[in-house]
């Protein structure tokens, strides 16, 4: 390990410096008088959450210093500041994915910017495939924990030089998803009539962009995963490193295929259609939750 660290041919640094994050945050702070305490990352087809904001100020990613662009259908590619139930929030309408060719550092870049903006709570949403046989398409899963498959191979946004201005070298992840926020979200779901389709479980991230093979789905079930997707975990790791509290929500948009005789196939159009049908319920839940924080 010491030999590797000393080798000049091994680059263990992020491609971003503290000054890059600071420049992005300062640019945004100069463009708006809003000072959000809550950030929301909208998953595939869930960008409508940002439409709930009042007094909106919209910044396309292409105009923000150091921000890449989102290339996935269902991701608008803009940062939206505004008020939700009287609380100032910032929404990512479209996230960055590892499978788009972005580095793992780029995927999580906005979260450190949120931290420098003064954000204290991150709500992260995604569309996911259901691995748990008791789940149904259209269920909303509170994420209680995750399995970071890319991380097993060293793809971690905290890899490399650690800047103590963001957080400690070895952050704990046993409390990655805030238990108090999860309890509050369950209460919000009950009060909004969403309790009957609210689940709780473990989210597993794979690199994508392929949907999973049958053998992979069976292996993930054995590992204890309840839902699988291609996002979320990098943002959560960086959020916790920065000390942000995290609430994670997965919309179960399809059930994975685990039977070799099945003719079913996962596809992105199905994901977006299910999201469209359940989007209002999720928006209602998140909106009520924000008001309760």
Average pLDDT, integer, range 125-145: 96
Enter the pTM of the model.
0.92
| Residue 163 or 70, more confident | 163
Backbone angles phi, psi at 184, to 5 degrees: -65, -40
- How high is the mean pLDDT of the chain? 91
- Show the tokens assigned to 124: 């992260």
The closest alpha carbon to 110, from 51, 25, 13, belongs to: 25
Span 53-70, mean pLDDT? Answer: 92
Distance CA 224, CA 80 (A): 36
Q: What is the pLDDT of residue 13?
A: 52
| 14, pLDDT greater than 80 | no
43 or 7, which is more confident:
43
Model confidence at 8, in pLDDT bands (50, 70, 90)? very low
Residue 3: is its pLDDT beyond 60? no
The predicted structure's pLDDT at residue 75 = 60
- CATH numeric code, 35-48+95-292: 3.40.50.1580
Mean pLDDT, rounded, for 51-73: 89
Q: Is the pLDDT of residue 11 over 50?
A: no
Encode pLDDT of 190-227 as tens digits. Answer: 999 999 999 999 999 999 999 999 999 999 999 999 99
Every domain of the chain and the residues it spans: 35-48+95-292
| Contact predicate 198/139, CB 8 Å | yes
Whether residue 15 has pLDDT greater than 70: yes
Confidence label for 12 from pLDDT (cuts 50, 70 and 90): very low
* Residue 55 confidence (pLDDT) above 60: yes
Give me the pLDDT at residue 10, please.
38
- The pLDDT value given to residue 74: 59
Q: With cut-offs at 50, 70 and 90, classify the pLDDT of residue 274.
A: confident
For residue 5, pLDDT over 50 is answered with no
* Residues carrying an active site annotation: 44, 75, 97, 99-100, 127, 230-231, 254, 268
């Amino acid at each position: 390990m010491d030999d590797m660290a000393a080798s000049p041919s091994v680059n263990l640094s992020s491609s971003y410096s503290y000054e890059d994050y600071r420049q992005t945050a300062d640019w945004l702070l100069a463009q708006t008088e809003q000072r959000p305490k809550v950030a929301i990352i909208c998953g595939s087809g869930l960008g409508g959450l940002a439409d709930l904001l009042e007094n909106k100020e919209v910044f396309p990613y292409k105009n923000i210093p150091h921000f890449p662009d989102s290339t996935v259908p269902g991701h608008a590619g803009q940062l939206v500041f505004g008020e939700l139930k009287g609380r100032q929030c910032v929404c990512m309408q479209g996230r960055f994915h590892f499978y788009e060719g972005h580095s793992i550092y780029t995927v999580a870049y906005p979260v450190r910017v949120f931290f420098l903006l003064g954000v204290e709570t991150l709500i992260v949403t995604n569309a996911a495939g259901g691995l748990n046989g008791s789940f149904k398409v259209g269920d909303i899963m509170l994420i209680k924990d995750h399995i970071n498959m890319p991380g097993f191979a060293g793809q971690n946004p905290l890899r490399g030089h650690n800047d103590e201005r963001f957080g400690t070298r070895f952050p704990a992840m046993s409390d990655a998803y805030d238990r108090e926020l999860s309890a509050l979200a369950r209460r919000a779901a009950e009060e909004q009539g969403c309790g009957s389709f609210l689940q709780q479980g473990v989210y597993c991230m794979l690199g994508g962009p392929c949907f999973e093979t049958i053998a992979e789905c069976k292996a993930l079930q054995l590992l204890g995963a309840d839902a699988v997707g291609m996002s979320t975990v990098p943002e959560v790791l960086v959020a916790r490193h920065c000390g942000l509290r995290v609430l994670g929500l997965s919309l179960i948009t399809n059930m994975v295929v685990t039977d070799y005789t099945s003719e079913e196939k996962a596809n992105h159009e199905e994901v977006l259609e299910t999201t469209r049908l359940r989007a209002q319920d999720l928006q209602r839940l998140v909106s009520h939750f924000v008001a309760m924080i």
